[in-house]
Structures are given as C-alpha cells and as structure tokens.
Amino acid sequence: MKASDSLTIRGKVIRNRITMAPTVKFDYAGPDGKATEKHIDHYRERAEHGCGLICVEATAVSPDGRFWTNHMGLWSDDQIEGHAQIAKACHDNGAVVIVQINHTGISGNPELGTVIGPSAVPTRDPKVISKELSIDEIHRVQGLFVRAAVRAKKAGYDGVQLHGCHAYLINQFISKKTNLRCDEYGGSTENRARFGSEIIRAIRKECGEDFIISIRTAGIEPDVATAIEIAEEYVKAGVDMLQVSTGIEWEDDSLKEEGEPYNLIVKLGVKFHEHFKGRVPVSCVNSLYDPSVINYLFENDLVDLVDLGRPILADPAIVEAVLEGKPYVRCYDCPNCQYGPFMPHKCPAAMRRGVKFE
C-alpha cells in the first residue's frame, strides 16, 4: 500500500490515504455557532495541498453541549449555509469532507447549561455532579446527533464522524468509570455501546446509503480488547470507518513500546487495523510529524489511513511531503499547542511559512 493509493467509501473516492484530523479552532466561531470565513479558508487551504479526506472540527449538536461559546455548531438550520461553504471549498479542491459532530456531556461547561451524562459523577469541576440522563432524555440527545447529521447532508458534506473518544459523551457511555447504569445503556459491552450504535443506525436511516458514517473511537477503554469489542458493536450498527484515538481509561499493561517508529497511541490504530483488516478502514493519529514514518505505516500495511492534526495545522504542505517528497515546515511539537484552546494561535511553524496572525 502507498500513501497515494485511493480509497472508496460509500461511493466516495478518497484520492489518497491522508486525513485531516478534526481540530477545533476555538477563536473562529462566535456565540451563534456559525462557520466563518476563517473556517472556510482554513479547510480550503488543506484541501488545496492535496489532503484526501478532511474531517471538519468537533461541531456541537446542542448549544449546551459546547466547550464554550466560540465552538461551531450544527444544532440549527441557520448554521447550514456556513457549513455548505466549507464543504464546497473542500470539494472544489478535490477532497472528500465529513464533519465531526459532538456533545461534551460531563466535560461540558456549566455556564452553558446543565451538565449531563450517562450517570451522576464528578465533572471537570469536582464540585459539579453531572445530571444522569433518563431513558427519554437519552433518546432526545440521540435525536440531536441525528438531526445534526441531516443538516450536514443538506450542507453537502459527504458524511459525519461521531466524536466517540477524548472523554466526551459517546465515550462516557462506553467507559465503566463514567457509566454506572444498570439498564440497557450500562453494564455489558453491548449495552455501553448502545448509545452510539443507535445513533449510527438512525443516521443511516435518515441520511441514506451514500452517506459516510465514521466514528472516532477510543482504542483502549480500559484495555485494547474491550475497546475492540465496543468498536465491533459500532461496525455491526453500520459504521463505515474507525478513526482510533484515546479515551478515559488506560489500564492495559500489555501495550508496550517494542521499537516501532511511532508511539503507543498510533499503535492503537495499528492494533485495530490488525483486527478489522478487510472489513472496515481504520486510521491512526498522534505525533506523526515525519513523512518517512507516515509512509512506513502504509508500506508495511499497518493502517488504512493516517490522521494528521498538529502537523497539518503547522503546514498543510506535509501532505505533499508525504506524497511527493516536497519540502514542508515541520511542527515544533510545542508543549502547549498554539492552536489549542485559549492559546494565542501563533503557531511558530505557521509563522515560519509566512502566515500572518492578528
């Protein structure tokens, strides 16, 4: 396999195996959650440099499910037009584009509304205990995801990605640390995956057979075997692609560094690829700054796609570096990424390549 090989999912031809990972631009949106010219230009630039699949940043399905008021949304029809412009900018430059839809759950901001979750547990503010969702409320929140997906299709996106990791709501349902329920949404692996699986089935019903449904899922929760069991439930529900990252718990001592040129988070994607090979495409992510390592993953058939976050923020030309050996500016791997929340967004690598920051 080569990075330049195409991949077809749901009839959509992805021109190469490089994916832009969803990374939130915290100072681009306003309280209305609408996409802005900054968003459109940002994703257009990555498509222009040849990225095969672009996953637009975490987009809230509800105003109270945001990180903060500068978090883009798809909870209202008024937000469709801005997303349509992002989708068009990507399509005009040859990229397949999906949007990640998310609810923060117990990781939410209490200033935006009641913090909800699968169970009543401490939140990021230990003094705030989340409100346990009733069955009716679970169905209401699932409906928020489905309606956001319908809006995404109306906007022209090729599909959606469910944010099922990084301690957000879908992840909270699969983790025994945050899901203490004893009903059909708690206990067994199948039950803990039910929240996400039902959303997948409902999106397929509403958005049709040509709509890509991806999920960014935890590769270890609390161990790799359990995380794969959870992913199996998503695959049974009809998910088209697994994008593997981290979750809430990490208690698998068997996962060790064994001289690979990539880290343990990337190794989670490699493990998933071994399991799902030939059934569902799997991508990996995390600290993949060097084109030689990215190409190593493909040349040794270790994953189906590679997600680039910080490296493609630092310089979208990394795509051309991987595919054609062209020069690029390498991410400096700053301890606190300048593109992260509440940072000044003055990425030194981007500045080196001439980006002007306000």
Residue at 343 is within a domain: no
Residue 322 CA to residue 327 CA, distance in Å, equals 10
CATH number of the domain enclosing 289: 3.20.20.70
pTM, rounded to two decimals: 0.96
Domain with 274, as residue range(s), is 7-329
pLDDT digits (tens, 9 = 90+) for 140-169: 999 999 999 999 999 999 999 999 999 999
Classify 199 as helix, strand or coil: helix
Domain count of the chain?
1
Q: Give 342: exposed, middle or buried? Use CB within 10 Å, 0-12, 13-18, 19+.
A: exposed
Classify residue 349: in a domain, yes or no: no
Q: Mean pLDDT over all residues of the chain?
A: 96
Q: 213 lies in a domain?
A: yes
Q: Are 15 and 3 in contact (CB under 8 A)?
A: no
With respect to residue 47, please indicate whether it lies within any of the assigned structural domains. Answer: yes
pLDDT of residue 355: 85
Position 312 in a domain: yes
Does 348 reside within a domain? no
Q: What is the pLDDT of residues 47-58, one digit of tens each?
A: 999 999 999 999
For 94, the 3-state DSSP assignment is coil
- Rounded Cα gap, residues 65 and 112, in angstroms: 8
Nearest partner of 185 among 201, 204, 166, 172, judged by Cα: 172
Cβ(86)–Cβ(97) below 8 Å: yes
Min mean pLDDT across 69-83, 201-215, 338-352 is at 338-352
Has residue 163 been placed in a domain?
yes
Question: Which amino acid is present at 342?
Answer: F
Compute the distance between CA of residue 121 and CA of residue 180 in angstroms, rounded to an integer.
9
Cα 100 from Cα 307, distance rounded (Å): 13
Is 339 among the domain residues?
Answer: no
pLDDT of residue 291: 98
